[in-house]
Amino acid sequence: MLQGWIQIALTLLIVVVITPFFGRYMARVFLGQRTFLDSVLHPLDQVILSLSGVRIQEGMTGWQYARAMLYSNLTMLVFIYLIFMLQGGLPFNPTGLTAPSWDLALHTAISFVTNTNQQHYSGETTYSYFSQFAALGFMMFTSAATGIAVAIAFIRGLTGRPLGNFYVDLIQSITRILLPISIVGAIVLMAAGIPETLAGPAIIPTLENPGISQAIARGPVAHYEIIKELGENGGGFFGINSAHPFENPNGFTNLIELVAILSIPTSLIITYGIFANNLKQAWLVYSIPFAILVIFIIITAIGEYQGNSAVNALLGSEAPNLEGKEVRFGWAQSALFAVFTTASMCGAVNSLHDSFMPTGGFVTLSNMFLQIVFGGQGTGTAYLFAYLILAVFVTGLMVGRTPEFLGRKIEKREVVLASFLILLVHPIAILIPSAMTLAFPEQLAGISNPGFHGLSQVIYEYASAAANNGSGFEGLGDATLWWNLSTSFSLLAGRYIPIVSLLLLADSMSRKQPVPATAGTLRTDTGLFTGVTAGVILILGALTFFPVLALGPVAEAFQILKGIG
Amino acid sequence: MFVVWLGTIVTLLVTINPNLFGTVQADVGQQRLLNGIITFILFFTVLFANFAEAVAEGRGKAQADALRSTRSDTIARKMLPDQSIQEVNSTELRRGDQVKVIAGDMIPADGEVIQGIGSVDESAITGESAPVLKQPGTDIASSVTGGTRLLSDELIVRISADPGQGFIDRMISLVEGAERTKTPNEIALTVLLAVLTQVFLIVVATTPSLSGYIADFLDNVLGSAAGNSLRAGTSIAILISLLVALIPTTIGGLLSAIGIAGMDRVAQFNVIATSGRAVEACGDVNTLVLDKTGTITLGNRLADEFIPVNGHDLQEVANAGWIASVFDETPEGRSIVRLAEKLGAKFDLNGQPAEGIEFSARTRMSGTDLDGKEYRKGAVDAIKGFVRSRGGQVPLTLDQAYERVSRLGGTPLAVCQGPDIYGVIYLKDMVKPGLRERFDQLRRMGVKTIMLTGDNRITASVIAKEAGVDDFIAEATPEDKIDVIRSEQAQGKLVAMTGDGTNDAPALAQANVGLAMNSGTQAAKEAANMVDLDSDPTKLIDLVTIGKQLLITRGALTTFSVANDIAKYFAIIPTIFAAAGIGALNIMGLKSAQSAIVSALIYNALIIPVLIPLALRGVQFRPLTADQLLQRNILIYGLGGIIAPFIAIKAIDLILPLS
Amino acid sequence: MKLPLLNLSFPSLQTTTQALEEVLAIGSEWRRQKLPLYLFLALCLNLVIAPVVYATSNNEFSRSQAWALGLLGLGTAAISVYLFFVMFIPEKF
């Protein structure tokens, strides 16, 4: 038991230690200061910029930035959709896969453009190598970079700077952050035993009966693997994602993947601190998701360690819940991975979330409902500050002034955008389709485990889509037309409505005349205000989903305790 | 509140026919009873919210009625171009018309005196019974207000406002709330409340599908009793109750009452604000620009000390000062006499040929000719000249005394008798009592004060130090006022100022909060967004407090309302979903779903009238820093908002005779 | 057999104009009082929705219940739309 807790604590420690360095590095990149990679990458930037015809000096307004983001994402969406539909005739298709159904291809394309990587398929049997690396791998970089660019523009706006240029931010995110780390990471992962090959599946005789041979899927996995975690993408090369020994062979690769998952969302908060020139506030803000994260890890890990009381009664002994888990990771690393991946909207999994105890279901769902437990690539950080703005608005009046955040008044426009994006999008994108699906469970849902758990399965699928997480509770027959299309709606609503709102919010904040701080100004960098923000997050963000959680994992937990069903 | 209304209608329908939206599996009579109770409580929730607004408006109405009674139509004597007089109804007067007002008449409309001198009773609008002298030409005293009464003499007034747009008309419509438009802050809050309502609407509207799925599951596993119990728990009436409990009805019902009450508090201070926006802006003010005279100091300089020179002793100076001032009726003169008498100077002038010499701008001195001796007091330079003209010497010590007084920020007056200089009288600018503490409070609240004065730098700095203002501008011209406002605003600050003269009008318009004195000119009053009927510029400080109090009240009640949701959730959800086996979450131990719902709704309805007094009175304001205020208010309204409903709902649940 | 006399009684011109005026009055009233119009449209729309509810509910609901539920759903949707209006143009409320 102790070993498991030490593993968890060490991983968290590494994540925290990396944060300030990485955060500073990203701040340098986006503040236009010199970084050590400049000499190598500057010429590359120039080539890309001159080829694409982007003029760096051109700043964008919030709406222009949003339009640039939408148009480029739409172009990429069409591009990869065509690759999927034409993959039968394209190269690097050793297994001779044909085009998937139109709705599955559409869902996959949307899912990858939105940085979600929700997969209603198994990669090794649905998409060719070319589709995997040219379409999916490509989107893993660009969708993650889109998230970073939006976060940076948001931070710039919040701190009163011009928003910048989307294309420049997108390119810099890739060339200065994602690509260098991915290259190093892919090499390390290859050294640790992950394959990187274009050869088709290996055909080898089985151990039991040399007469029978078995095909073992493989492919260009290592480079795909690192960006999957680093970019909060989470779409596995193989159907079972990071539980597959070729994606995540041992404890070392597991650690790298865990750290990679949280590195960017955590560090962006420090990047904000440097932009705002207020590191104290950055660390205080950091403490909110970190505290929630730790609590969630403890809840999940205890649940998994104690195991299922009903099963333990049959065994006659106390055993951790290892159903759906890889033995090489055990309860601790599986629980940690599950919390990390749902917290950060990565969505990679190294165990089956469906098989977690209800406590695990509760935590993973809550993570996706909140979206700020570090949250998605870039967007999580932005959401966190949107919550801060909302907290300033609700409680800021109580000091007798029009609420201000960083000296900028919070008025109608900011409240509309902030409350809309963090309070309203989620209920619309999760609860409404869930209710529609559950109204016709036989026809639409395809639930494998009816009852409270089935409810959780459905809610999880939409939450995963709306939060752009992409992990699956699994256990749903989700490759149907209904699922593909309805989750596509959640994916798009959960991604673009908030992003556009964030950019407009940043834009209107950056245009405001800052008011100098006085003793009468509400300070947002105090412990008290941090606590208030946590309360606002809890009441406004989490209580919305209280009925759902009560009917899902909570009821299931009581059901197991009582031994019903 | 609109949502609650609709909810009430729907619950009424299901009271009449419980089977309207699906056959009730439980006892129909009981279901009807529950629906009836819910309808009843919802109805009262709406009623209470309207009541809150009505109470707040009622206060304003009473004030408006009092004002309206003064505005009864009067017959005006309109002067035609050929100087003949035509009697017309006051409502027919237009801007630019000239009317003649005779003693005893009501002044028919707002205007400016262009001819004649007369005293006017303005008690109808100011509450001040002493009549005010009105005469043409002067900035201050030439404007008259419709509805006030001329007590003596005759005036010819040029009308400056069309009917219905006069000062009193505006006041009436303001206190009545007829012109009430939402302030930016209220608008932002309305948006948040709408978003929250929308969120909870979605939550509640999607619940039947989710619970229906679980109910079907329970039918299969535990039998139809469990499933039906869950279905009963999520009947339409109960879901509407859940919705009403969750949406922020408390703040929704009180929001407009808070705003009206804020205006009302300002009105009780005898200040008329042109909009709620102006009151709110008061709370946001970062900088107060204050005139020295009349605002910071009492306006009159008072004698503080006699400084003997030229070999005279204190008693002699006091005596000379007394004689020189005995006929001087100005406050300065009176204060010299008072101080001298305190030092024992007292003469009996009876029988002696004494004559007062009045102050004139040319001589810049005044005094008394007593028995052939010329006692004079006046500006030091003037006295020097006078003494020289009488063949006297100016001693060096005079200049030393003069400088000493100047350094202290006072005004030195020299006293002489013929060619003999006796000494210097130190006239001191008296800072209003208690102002220092007020400025300290303002500083703690983060408000900066700037004093403007026409005095020289030395004098200004001494007064500034004594009053405790943060900054001062000496030798200021009216243009300086605008400049200082502009430069503060350029830094993003909100500026408040007071003013009365016509040359203050641009600055009043430029400032975010401009408080004009009622004694001031029409131009100043038009430019300002607030008018002080008592003409006390110090009130600006109180207005800052009222503005802050208004914002705090709104914030506190919002926080309270939103924090209440935790308890309501924990009361309702576990009980209505009890069939799903989560009864253990019912941490309050409420008796049943019916009892929990009804308790939460009763709490929800009753909290509105309970909070009405707070909304009207406003949260108590203390001059603390923002952090201290936040800490205090979060503790009371945030934490209190979480805990109070737990206790209250549990208590109601215990009392209710529902099973 | 005698054919019945065709005794078509045309409404007098006056009543026709009166009726026309009534219609016009209702029309102009609609322009000011939107609520009755919306209610009418909602009831019309419900004629489409109610059968759908009835059909999908496996005889769980009676016809009138399905009708009421359809109306309730429409009402909920209407409130939602109303709230969106409040959100984006709060000045008017």
pLDDT in tens, B108-149: 877 888 888 888 877 666 656 667 777 776 655 677 777 778
Rounded to a whole number of angstroms, the CA Rg of chain C reads: 22
CB-based contact A359:A302 (threshold 8 Å): yes
Q: What is the DSSP string of B68-120?
A: HHHT---EEEEEPTTS-EEEEEGGG--TT-EEEEETTPBP-SSEEEEE--EEE
Q: Which of A307-316, A355-364, B164-173, B581-590 has the lowest mean pLDDT?
A: B164-173
Are B3 and C86 within 8 A, CB to CB? no
Domain ranges, residue B404:
304-425
Strand order in the sheet with B411-417: B297-308, B420-431, B411-417, B373-379, B365-370, B354-357
Q: Are residues B128 and B155 in the same domain?
A: yes
What's the confidence (pLDDT) of residue A21? 94
* H or E, element range at C25: helix C13-32
pLDDT of residue A565 exceeding 50 = no
Strand B530-532, strand B271-273: pairing: antiparallel
The answer to whether the CB atoms of B580 and A452 lie below 8 A apart is: yes
Task: State the maximum Cα–Cα separation within chain B, in Å, rounded to a whole number.
Answer: 123
Instruction: Give contacts of B211 with chain A, Cβ < 8 Å.
Output: 551
Q: Select the more confidently predicted residue: A259 or B81.
A: A259
B436 and B291 together in one domain: yes
Q: Report the run of H or E that residue B378 belongs to, with start and end.
A: strand B373-379
How many Cβ atoms from other residues are within 10 Å of residue A47's Cβ?
A: 10
Name the band, by pLDDT with cuts 50, 70 and 90, for residue B25.
low
B492/A515 touch (CB, cutoff 8 Å), yes or no: yes
How does A280-289 read in b/e, with b if 16+ C-beta sit within 10 Å?
A: ebbbbbbebb
Choice among A115-119, B542-546, B582-586 with the minimum mean pLDDT: B582-586
Give the helix ranges, DSSP H, for A277-317. Answer: 279-306, 309-315
Q: Give residue-wise pLDDT tens across range B144-164.
A: 777 778 887 788 888 877 776
**Average pLDDT of chain B, as a whole number:** 82
A161 or B524, greater pLDDT: A161
CB contact under 8 A, B198 and C60: no
Please name the amino acid found at residue B38.
Answer: I
Under an 8 A CB cutoff, do B283 and A400 touch? yes
**Contact between A452 and A553 (Cβ < 8 Å):** yes
pLDDT at C9 over 70: no
Angstrom distance (rounded) from CA A225 to CA A195: 10
Residue-level pLDDT at C6: 52
C61: chain A residues, CB-CB within 8 Å: none
Residue B41 resides in a domain:
no
All residues of chain B having their beta carbon less than 8 Å from the beta carbon of residue C76 are 201, 205
- pLDDT band at A233, cuts 50/70/90? confident
Beta strands B365-370; B420-431: pairing state? unpaired
Residues B369 and B421 in one domain: yes
Distance from CA of B22 to the nearest CA of C (A): 6
pLDDT score at B349: 66
Which CA distances in Å does C83 have to B195, B201, B356, B554, C71?
7, 10, 79, 21, 18
Across chain A, what does the average pLDDT equal?
Answer: 88
Highest averaged pLDDT of the listed ranges B163-172, B334-343, B592-601: B592-601
Determine the residue among B181, B186, B190, B213 to mutate to test chain C binding: the one whose Cβ has the most chain C Cβ atoms within 10 Å.
B190
Q: Are B518 and B533 in contact (CB under 8 A)?
A: yes
Both tokens of residue A39? 């000499």
Mean pLDDT, rounded, for A252-277: 93
Quickly state the pLDDT bin for A130 (edges 50, 70, 90): confident
Contacts of A416 in chain C (CB under 8 A): 87-88
* pLDDT of the residue at C31: 67
What is the secondary structure of A411-455 as a DSSP string? -HHHHHHHHIIIIIHHIIIIIHHHHHHHHSIIIII-BSSTTHHHH
Region B555-572 average pLDDT: 90
**DSSP structure string for B570-608:** HHHHHHHTGGGTTGGG-TT--S-HHHHHHHHHHHHHHHH
Q: Are residues B368 and B438 in the same domain?
A: no
Average pLDDT (A255-270) is 93
For residue A162, the tally of other CB atoms under 10 A from its CB is 14
A302, two tokens = 């205890």
Are B348 and B284 in the same domain? no
Among partner residues A395, A519, A551, which is closest to B446 by beta-carbon distance?
Answer: A519
pLDDT, tens digit (0-9, with 9 covering 90-100), for A139-149: 999 999 999 99
CA distance A76 to chain B (A): 33
Rounded distance between C-alpha atoms, residue B527 and residue B326, angstroms:
43
CB A532 within 8 A of CB A526: no
Q: Which pairs count as long-range contacts for B373-377, CB under 8 Å and 24+ apart, including other chains?
A: B373/B417, B373/B418, B374/B417, B374/B418, B375/B320, B375/B323, B375/B324, B375/B415, B375/B416, B375/B417, B376/B324, B376/B415, B376/B416, B376/B417, B377/B321, B377/B324, B377/B325, B377/B336, B377/B413, B377/B414, B377/B415, B377/B416, B377/B425
As given in the structure block, the two tokens for residue A64 are 């222009």
Tokens 């253990």 belong to residue: B584
Residue whose entry in the numeric block shows the structure tokens 């997108």: A170
Domain co-membership, B334 together with B391? yes
Structural domain includes residue B211: no
Residue of A nearest to B579 (CA): A555
A484-491 average pLDDT score: 93
Domain boundary among B408, B425, B442: B425
Under 8 Å between Cβ of A175 and A41:
yes
The Cα of C40 is separated from the nearest Cα of chain B by a number of Å equal to: 17
| Residues B445 and B399 placed together within one structural domain of the fold | no
Does position B179 have pLDDT exceeding 60, yes or no? no
Say if residue B284 is in the same domain as residue B379.
no
The answer on pLDDT for B363 being more than 90 is no
Would the pLDDT of A375 be above 90? Answer: no
Q: Name the more confident of B274 and B514.
A: B514
Q: How many residues are there in chain A?
A: 565
Q: B384 and B280, same structural domain?
A: no
**% of chain A exceeding 90 in pLDDT:** 43
Strand partners, B498: B515
Q: Is residue B206 part of a domain?
A: no
Quick one: how many helices (H) and strands (E) in chain C? 3, 0
What is the C-alpha to C-alpha distance for residues A370 and A384, in angstroms, rounded to an integer?
10
Among B135, B162, B189, the domain boundary falls at: B162
Please check whether residues B418 and B321 belong to one and the same domain. Answer: yes
Number of Cβ within a 10 Å radius of residue A336: 24
Rg (CA), chain A: 23
Residue B649 pLDDT class (50, 70, 90 cuts): very high
Q: Where are the beta strands (DSSP E) in B396-469?
A: 411-417, 420-431, 448-452
Name the DSSP class of A523: P
Q: What is the DSSP string of B491-514?
A: TT--EEEEE-SGGGHHHHHHSSEE
Identify the domain boundary among B545, B563, B587. Answer: B545
Q: Report the residue of B288, B630, B633, B637 to disrupt the A interface, i.e. the one with the largest count of A CBs within 10 Å.
A: B630
Q: What total number of domains does chain B contain? A: 3
Token pair of A18, please? 């990396």
Structure pTM?
0.85
Residue B119 lies in a domain: yes
* Residue B115 backbone class (left: φ over 0; alpha: ψ -120 to 50; beta: rest): beta
- Tell whether B286 and B387 lie within a shared domain: no
Q: Are residues B401 and B438 in the same domain?
A: no
Each residue of B248-298: pLDDT tens digit?
888 888 888 888 888 778 877 878 777 778 888 888 888 888 887 777 877
List all residues 6 or more positions away from A408 whose beta carbon is below 8 Å from its beta carbon: A160, A509, A512, A514, A515
Residue A12: predicted pLDDT: 95
Report C:39-68 residues touching B (Cβ under 8 A).
60-62, 64-65, 68
- Closest in A402, A435, A454 to B185, CB measured: A402
CA triple A500-A506-A508, angle to 5 deg: 105
Q: Which of C56, C9, B375 is nearest to A441 (CA)?
A: C56
- Residue C90 has its nearest CB partner, among A412, A420, A440, at A412
Put simply, whether A497 touches B (Cβ < 8 Å) is no
